[in-house]
Amino acid sequence: MRRLQSLWNYLTEPRIYWRLFSLALAVIFWLLAAGEGDLGGTERVFSLPLSARNLPADQAVVDPLPVVRVRLRGLSPILALVENDLQAVIDLSGAEEGQGSYTVEVPAPVGVEVVSITPERVSVRTEQVLAAQFPVRVALLDVYPRALVHNVTPNPAQVVVTAPRSLLGQVDQVAAYISVGDREGGFTAVVPLTAIDKAGRPLSSVQIDPQQVTVAVELFAQTEP
């Protein structure tokens, strides 16, 4: 009790009281300036990339997710402080193959109010993730006339390609590109794999297991006639 009485007597001393009062007044003026004259805060609009959470392992989002506009209310210093931590998310824990509508959520940091989210719901298409085996096709580059290919052996000879249903259907073959150059005799090389479609275009959004193979190439030099 004596300590509380001593503290009260200290705080009510004129020199201490007026210092605390001046400090409180300065804080109030700062808050008014930061909030553009309103202690309730100001409003700002942010554009946030949408991200998906809890997507089932056997599903994949087919189309790019949109950008959403979020209107937040709070004091300007707080809004500036949390700007880089803002996230717009959708929960896909119950997603099944096909089109679905999901609510956009923006977790509000302490001291910030979410006024509006545009759009509030988004339509997202998911597909089942499938896997298929493909033989490895070795494509030799820079084969000069003086070198003839005797035998080419990839190890492993088959790989597994995993991708959403529609993308997996575009895979025509899995290729290993290797440059021969001016080498003579036999050699081996570790070569990355590329999934390509029927037009010969690479498909980057697929998973290949393993991602590279060891290719053994047997060559012999062309003899002069």
The position carrying tokens 């025509």 is 172
Vertex 193 angle, CA 63 and 144, to 5°: 135
The pLDDT tens digits of the residues spanning 208-223 come to 999 999 999 887 655 5
The pLDDT tens digits of the residues spanning 42-67 come to 888 999 999 999 999 999 999 999 99
Q: Which of 31-35, 79-83, 98-102, 196-200 has the lowest mean pLDDT?
A: 31-35
**Percentage of residues in the chain with pLDDT exceeding 90?**
49
The pLDDT confidence band at residue 197, using thresholds 50, 70 and 90, is very high
Which one is the CATH code of 128-221: 2.170.120.40, 2.60.120.10, 2.30.40.10, 3.90.550.10?
A: 2.170.120.40
Q: Which of 64-73, 146-155, 171-180, 185-194 has the lowest mean pLDDT?
A: 146-155
- The answer to whether the beta carbons of residues 180 and 215 sit under 8 Å apart is no
Residue 149 has pLDDT above 90, yes or no: no
Quick one: how far is CA 84 from the chain centroid? 16
**What pLDDT shows up at residue 40?**
53
Which one is the CATH code of 42-119: 1.10.357.10, 3.30.420.10, 2.170.120.30, 3.30.559.10?
A: 2.170.120.30
**Cα–Cα distance for residue pair 152/224, rounded to 1 Å:** 24
Q: Which of 18-32, 47-61, 72-86 has the lowest mean pLDDT?
A: 18-32
Instruction: Kindly list the domain boundaries of the chain, sorted by start residue.
Output: 42-119, 128-221
**What pLDDT shows up at residue 165?**
93
Residue 93 has pLDDT above 60, yes or no: yes
Q: What does the mean pLDDT of the chain come to? A: 82
**Percentage of residues in the chain with pLDDT exceeding 70?**
74
CA distances 158 to 14, 189, 193, 220, Å, are 87, 17, 11, 26
Residue 81 has pLDDT above 60, yes or no: yes
Residue 134 has pLDDT above 50, yes or no: yes
**Cα–Cα distance for residue pair 177/154, rounded to 1 Å:** 11
Residue 34 has pLDDT above 70, yes or no: no
**What pLDDT shows up at residue 48?**
94
Average the pLDDT over 147-159 and give the result.
82
**What pLDDT shows up at residue 39?**
45
